[in-house]
Amino acid sequence: MSNLEVDPQELVCEAEPAASGAIELLEPRDVPLGGPRAMTVRRTLPQRGRSLIGAWCFADHYGPDDVAATGGMVVPPHPHTGLQTVSWLFAGEIEHRDSTGAHAMVRPGELNLMTAGRGIQHSEVSTPATRMLHGVQLWTALPDSDRHRAPLFERFVPKVFDHDGASVSVFLGSLLGRTSTASAFTPIVGAQFDLPANTTVTVPVETTFEYGILVDTGIVEFDGTAVPAAHVGYRAPGATQLTIASGEDAARLLLLGGEPFGEEIVMWWNFVGRSHDEIVASRSRWMAEVIDHADPDGQFGQVHGYDGRALPAPELPLGRLRPR
Protein backbone atom coordinates (compact mmCIF):
# COMPACT_ATOMS: atom_id res chain seq x y z
CA MET A 1 0.00 0.00 0.00
CA SER A 2 1.13 3.54 -0.67
CA ASN A 3 1.50 6.13 2.04
CA LEU A 4 -1.30 8.34 0.71
CA GLU A 5 -0.96 11.18 3.20
CA VAL A 6 -1.49 14.52 1.49
CA ASP A 7 1.45 16.07 3.32
CA PRO A 8 3.86 13.27 4.28
CA GLN A 9 6.69 14.31 6.56
CA GLU A 10 10.30 13.34 6.17
CA LEU A 11 11.52 11.20 9.03
CA VAL A 12 15.02 10.35 10.17
CA CYS A 13 14.63 6.96 11.84
CA GLU A 14 17.34 5.92 14.24
CA ALA A 15 17.71 2.96 16.56
CA GLU A 16 16.27 4.34 19.80
CA PRO A 17 17.98 3.63 23.11
CA ALA A 18 16.80 0.36 24.59
CA ALA A 19 13.96 0.75 27.04
CA SER A 20 13.81 -1.00 30.39
CA GLY A 21 12.14 -4.38 30.79
CA ALA A 22 8.77 -2.64 31.01
CA ILE A 23 6.37 -2.76 28.06
CA GLU A 24 6.16 0.50 26.12
CA LEU A 25 2.71 1.28 24.69
CA LEU A 26 2.62 2.83 21.20
CA GLU A 27 -0.66 4.57 20.42
CA PRO A 28 -1.99 4.70 16.85
CA ARG A 29 -2.85 7.85 14.95
CA ASP A 30 -5.63 8.01 12.38
CA VAL A 31 -4.46 8.73 8.83
CA PRO A 32 -7.14 9.31 6.15
CA LEU A 33 -6.02 7.98 2.78
CA GLY A 34 -7.43 10.44 0.28
CA GLY A 35 -10.95 11.79 -0.30
CA PRO A 36 -14.11 11.88 1.83
CA ARG A 37 -15.04 8.22 1.15
CA ALA A 38 -11.50 6.91 1.46
CA MET A 39 -10.24 4.48 4.06
CA THR A 40 -8.71 5.63 7.31
CA VAL A 41 -5.80 3.63 8.70
CA ARG A 42 -4.39 3.48 12.21
CA ARG A 43 -0.62 4.03 12.08
CA THR A 44 1.67 2.92 14.91
CA LEU A 45 5.01 3.02 13.09
CA PRO A 46 6.83 5.28 12.61
CA GLN A 47 6.08 7.69 15.44
CA ARG A 48 8.02 10.24 17.42
CA GLY A 49 8.90 7.94 20.29
CA ARG A 50 9.81 4.87 18.25
CA SER A 51 10.57 4.60 14.55
CA LEU A 52 11.64 0.98 14.23
CA ILE A 53 11.13 -2.45 15.75
CA GLY A 54 13.97 -4.45 14.28
CA ALA A 55 13.73 -3.66 10.56
CA TRP A 56 9.96 -3.05 10.80
CA CYS A 57 9.62 0.64 9.94
CA PHE A 58 5.94 1.13 9.00
CA ALA A 59 2.70 -0.34 10.33
CA ASP A 60 -0.81 0.58 9.15
CA HIS A 61 -3.81 -1.27 10.58
CA TYR A 62 -7.15 -0.87 8.80
CA GLY A 63 -10.71 -2.12 8.99
CA PRO A 64 -12.93 -3.87 9.24
CA ASP A 65 -14.18 -1.42 6.59
CA ASP A 66 -17.49 -1.66 4.75
CA VAL A 67 -16.33 -1.33 1.15
CA ALA A 68 -19.75 0.02 0.11
CA ALA A 69 -19.18 2.97 2.45
CA THR A 70 -15.44 3.61 1.97
CA GLY A 71 -14.98 2.59 -1.65
CA GLY A 72 -12.44 0.01 -0.56
CA MET A 73 -8.80 0.15 -1.55
CA VAL A 74 -8.00 1.85 -4.85
CA VAL A 75 -4.29 2.66 -4.96
CA PRO A 76 -2.92 3.57 -8.42
CA PRO A 77 0.62 2.60 -9.46
CA HIS A 78 3.11 4.22 -7.09
CA PRO A 79 6.82 3.74 -6.34
CA HIS A 80 8.89 2.25 -3.55
CA THR A 81 12.64 2.14 -2.89
CA GLY A 82 14.79 0.61 -0.18
CA LEU A 83 12.09 -1.43 1.55
CA GLN A 84 9.85 -4.49 1.53
CA THR A 85 6.06 -4.25 1.61
CA VAL A 86 4.35 -6.94 3.67
CA SER A 87 0.65 -7.28 2.79
CA TRP A 88 -1.39 -9.34 5.28
CA LEU A 89 -5.19 -9.56 5.33
CA PHE A 90 -7.74 -10.70 7.89
CA ALA A 91 -10.74 -10.25 5.55
CA GLY A 92 -11.31 -9.31 1.91
CA GLU A 93 -9.20 -9.63 -1.21
CA ILE A 94 -6.82 -7.21 -2.99
CA GLU A 95 -5.53 -7.41 -6.55
CA HIS A 96 -1.80 -6.65 -6.79
CA ARG A 97 0.12 -5.73 -9.95
CA ASP A 98 3.74 -4.60 -10.07
CA SER A 99 6.56 -3.76 -12.45
CA THR A 100 8.26 -7.16 -12.03
CA GLY A 101 5.27 -8.49 -13.99
CA ALA A 102 3.66 -10.02 -10.91
CA HIS A 103 -0.14 -10.21 -10.82
CA ALA A 104 -1.48 -11.75 -7.61
CA MET A 105 -4.40 -11.75 -5.21
CA VAL A 106 -3.79 -10.90 -1.56
CA ARG A 107 -6.01 -13.11 0.61
CA PRO A 108 -6.35 -13.71 4.35
CA GLY A 109 -3.56 -15.86 5.76
CA GLU A 110 -1.42 -15.53 2.63
CA LEU A 111 1.71 -13.38 2.60
CA ASN A 112 2.37 -11.13 -0.37
CA LEU A 113 5.92 -9.78 -0.04
CA MET A 114 7.34 -7.19 -2.42
CA THR A 115 11.02 -6.31 -2.19
CA ALA A 116 11.44 -2.88 -3.78
CA GLY A 117 15.22 -2.79 -3.77
CA ARG A 118 16.48 -0.12 -6.15
CA GLY A 119 12.96 0.70 -7.33
CA ILE A 120 9.57 -0.77 -8.14
CA GLN A 121 6.01 0.40 -8.73
CA HIS A 122 2.75 -1.40 -7.98
CA SER A 123 -1.01 -0.97 -7.75
CA GLU A 124 -3.47 -2.36 -5.19
CA VAL A 125 -7.23 -2.57 -5.69
CA SER A 126 -9.80 -4.42 -3.59
CA THR A 127 -11.71 -6.89 -5.74
CA PRO A 128 -15.38 -6.40 -6.73
CA ALA A 129 -16.42 -9.39 -4.61
CA THR A 130 -14.94 -7.84 -1.45
CA ARG A 131 -17.55 -6.52 0.97
CA MET A 132 -15.37 -6.11 4.05
CA LEU A 133 -11.68 -5.13 4.05
CA HIS A 134 -9.53 -5.71 7.11
CA GLY A 135 -5.77 -6.10 7.43
CA VAL A 136 -2.37 -4.54 7.87
CA GLN A 137 0.25 -3.03 5.61
CA LEU A 138 3.78 -3.35 6.96
CA TRP A 139 7.17 -2.28 5.65
CA THR A 140 10.64 -3.50 6.51
CA ALA A 141 13.70 -1.37 5.80
CA LEU A 142 16.35 -3.03 3.67
CA PRO A 143 19.92 -2.88 5.01
CA ASP A 144 22.49 -0.93 3.04
CA SER A 145 23.94 -4.14 1.61
CA ASP A 146 20.63 -5.09 -0.05
CA ARG A 147 18.75 -1.89 -0.71
CA HIS A 148 19.98 -1.56 -4.31
CA ARG A 149 19.14 -5.13 -5.28
CA ALA A 150 16.77 -6.05 -8.10
CA PRO A 151 13.07 -5.90 -7.18
CA LEU A 152 11.29 -9.13 -6.31
CA PHE A 153 7.75 -10.35 -5.60
CA GLU A 154 7.00 -13.45 -3.51
CA ARG A 155 3.94 -15.23 -2.16
CA PHE A 156 4.02 -17.55 0.85
CA VAL A 157 1.21 -19.41 2.60
CA PRO A 158 2.26 -20.34 6.14
CA LYS A 159 0.84 -23.41 7.82
CA VAL A 160 -1.26 -22.73 10.91
CA PHE A 161 -0.23 -24.65 14.02
CA ASP A 162 -1.20 -24.82 17.68
CA HIS A 163 0.91 -23.41 20.51
CA ASP A 164 -0.41 -23.35 24.08
CA GLY A 165 -3.98 -23.32 22.72
CA ALA A 166 -3.40 -20.46 20.27
CA SER A 167 -3.39 -20.75 16.47
CA VAL A 168 -0.11 -19.42 15.07
CA SER A 169 1.17 -18.72 11.55
CA VAL A 170 4.74 -17.54 10.93
CA PHE A 171 4.83 -15.48 7.74
CA LEU A 172 8.35 -14.00 7.95
CA GLY A 173 11.49 -15.25 9.66
CA SER A 174 11.49 -18.03 12.27
CA LEU A 175 9.56 -18.66 15.48
CA LEU A 176 8.61 -21.72 17.54
CA GLY A 177 10.48 -24.05 15.21
CA ARG A 178 8.71 -22.81 12.07
CA THR A 179 10.44 -20.84 9.30
CA SER A 180 9.00 -18.84 6.43
CA THR A 181 10.58 -19.31 3.01
CA ALA A 182 9.96 -15.64 2.13
CA SER A 183 13.08 -13.51 1.71
CA ALA A 184 14.36 -11.71 4.80
CA PHE A 185 17.45 -9.52 4.69
CA THR A 186 17.87 -8.92 8.42
CA PRO A 187 17.19 -11.12 11.47
CA ILE A 188 13.43 -10.63 11.72
CA VAL A 189 10.13 -12.32 12.55
CA GLY A 190 6.45 -11.76 11.75
CA ALA A 191 3.66 -14.04 12.99
CA GLN A 192 -0.08 -14.03 13.62
CA PHE A 193 -1.52 -15.35 16.90
CA ASP A 194 -5.22 -16.12 17.38
CA LEU A 195 -6.04 -16.65 21.05
CA PRO A 196 -9.36 -18.01 22.34
CA ALA A 197 -10.78 -16.22 25.36
CA ASN A 198 -8.86 -16.63 28.62
CA THR A 199 -5.78 -18.13 26.98
CA THR A 200 -2.16 -17.54 27.97
CA VAL A 201 0.77 -18.42 25.70
CA THR A 202 4.47 -18.39 26.48
CA VAL A 203 6.73 -17.79 23.49
CA PRO A 204 10.49 -18.53 23.66
CA VAL A 205 12.27 -15.75 21.77
CA GLU A 206 15.68 -14.50 20.65
CA THR A 207 17.31 -12.41 23.38
CA THR A 208 18.93 -10.14 20.77
CA PHE A 209 15.56 -9.22 19.24
CA GLU A 210 13.25 -6.39 20.17
CA TYR A 211 9.55 -7.21 19.85
CA GLY A 212 6.21 -5.55 19.31
CA ILE A 213 2.70 -6.95 19.36
CA LEU A 214 0.14 -5.20 17.16
CA VAL A 215 -3.30 -6.06 18.53
CA ASP A 216 -6.05 -6.48 15.94
CA THR A 217 -8.98 -7.56 18.11
CA GLY A 218 -9.52 -7.93 21.83
CA ILE A 219 -7.43 -6.62 24.70
CA VAL A 220 -4.17 -8.47 25.25
CA GLU A 221 -1.84 -8.58 28.23
CA PHE A 222 1.76 -8.50 27.03
CA ASP A 223 4.17 -9.45 29.81
CA GLY A 224 1.56 -8.15 32.25
CA THR A 225 0.72 -4.88 30.44
CA ALA A 226 -2.68 -4.37 28.80
CA VAL A 227 -2.43 -3.55 25.09
CA PRO A 228 -5.74 -2.41 23.50
CA ALA A 229 -6.80 -3.06 19.91
CA ALA A 230 -4.86 -1.11 17.23
CA HIS A 231 -2.03 -0.38 19.71
CA VAL A 232 1.48 -1.82 19.77
CA GLY A 233 3.18 -3.10 22.89
CA TYR A 234 6.98 -2.84 22.60
CA ARG A 235 9.57 -4.98 24.42
CA ALA A 236 13.29 -4.14 24.32
CA PRO A 237 15.94 -6.81 23.67
CA GLY A 238 16.90 -9.09 26.52
CA ALA A 239 13.82 -11.26 27.03
CA THR A 240 14.12 -15.04 26.79
CA GLN A 241 10.37 -15.48 26.51
CA LEU A 242 7.21 -13.44 26.03
CA THR A 243 3.89 -14.00 27.77
CA ILE A 244 0.74 -13.08 25.86
CA ALA A 245 -2.74 -13.47 27.36
CA SER A 246 -6.27 -12.83 26.15
CA GLY A 247 -9.11 -11.73 28.43
CA GLU A 248 -12.79 -12.58 28.39
CA ASP A 249 -12.87 -12.13 24.61
CA ALA A 250 -10.85 -13.88 21.94
CA ALA A 251 -7.91 -11.88 20.59
CA ARG A 252 -5.90 -11.66 17.40
CA LEU A 253 -2.47 -10.02 17.14
CA LEU A 254 0.69 -9.85 15.11
CA LEU A 255 4.07 -10.44 16.72
CA LEU A 256 6.75 -8.35 14.99
CA GLY A 257 10.40 -8.52 15.99
CA GLY A 258 14.00 -8.37 14.93
CA GLU A 259 17.50 -7.36 15.89
CA PRO A 260 17.78 -3.56 16.27
CA PHE A 261 18.33 -2.27 12.74
CA GLY A 262 21.54 -0.39 13.49
CA GLU A 263 21.35 1.95 10.47
CA GLU A 264 19.88 5.43 10.24
CA ILE A 265 17.22 5.71 7.54
CA VAL A 266 15.28 8.57 6.02
CA MET A 267 11.63 7.92 5.10
CA TRP A 268 9.39 10.15 3.02
CA TRP A 269 6.22 9.17 1.16
CA ASN A 270 7.01 5.72 -0.28
CA PHE A 271 10.78 5.98 -0.30
CA VAL A 272 13.33 4.74 2.23
CA GLY A 273 16.82 6.15 1.78
CA ARG A 274 19.80 7.33 3.75
CA SER A 275 19.77 11.08 3.13
CA HIS A 276 17.57 14.01 2.17
CA ASP A 277 19.32 14.24 -1.21
CA GLU A 278 18.62 10.58 -1.95
CA ILE A 279 14.92 11.05 -1.28
CA VAL A 280 14.85 14.13 -3.52
CA ALA A 281 16.56 12.16 -6.30
CA SER A 282 14.08 9.26 -6.01
CA ARG A 283 11.13 11.64 -6.21
CA SER A 284 12.62 13.43 -9.23
CA ARG A 285 13.20 10.16 -11.08
CA TRP A 286 9.65 8.98 -10.38
CA MET A 287 8.14 12.22 -11.61
CA ALA A 288 10.33 12.37 -14.72
CA GLU A 289 10.33 8.71 -15.75
CA VAL A 290 6.73 7.76 -15.01
CA ILE A 291 4.55 10.83 -14.52
CA ASP A 292 6.18 12.83 -17.33
CA HIS A 293 6.79 9.65 -19.41
CA ALA A 294 10.48 10.43 -19.97
CA ASP A 295 11.58 6.81 -19.48
CA PRO A 296 8.74 4.35 -18.75
CA ASP A 297 11.24 1.47 -18.66
CA GLY A 298 13.59 3.24 -16.25
CA GLN A 299 14.27 2.65 -12.56
CA PHE A 300 10.64 1.92 -11.63
CA GLY A 301 9.56 -0.07 -14.69
CA GLN A 302 5.91 -0.35 -15.74
CA VAL A 303 2.73 -1.81 -14.28
CA HIS A 304 0.73 -3.59 -16.97
CA GLY A 305 -2.99 -4.23 -16.72
CA TYR A 306 -3.95 -1.29 -14.50
CA ASP A 307 -6.52 0.99 -16.14
CA GLY A 308 -5.53 4.43 -14.92
CA ARG A 309 -2.70 6.85 -14.30
CA ALA A 310 0.17 6.49 -11.87
CA LEU A 311 0.18 8.45 -8.63
CA PRO A 312 2.17 11.72 -8.67
CA ALA A 313 4.46 12.33 -5.71
CA PRO A 314 3.45 15.01 -3.20
CA GLU A 315 5.52 18.16 -2.92
CA LEU A 316 8.55 17.87 -0.70
CA PRO A 317 8.51 19.90 2.53
CA LEU A 318 10.39 23.17 2.56
CA GLY A 319 13.93 23.10 3.89
CA ARG A 320 16.36 20.26 4.35
CA LEU A 321 15.75 17.33 6.58
CA ARG A 322 16.70 17.81 10.21
CA PRO A 323 17.06 14.90 12.63
CA ARG A 324 14.54 14.99 15.45
Known binding residues are 78, 80, 122, 124
CA-closest candidate to residue 319, choices 263, 280, 288: 280
Distance CA 40, CA 63 (A): 8
Binding site feature residues for Fe cation: 78, 80, 122, 124
Q: Are 111 and 182 in contact (CB under 8 A)?
A: yes
Phi and psi at residue 103, to the nearest 5°: -135, 110
Distance CA 162, CA 190 (A): 16
End-to-end CA distance of the chain: 26
CA atoms within 13 A on the CB side of 38: 15
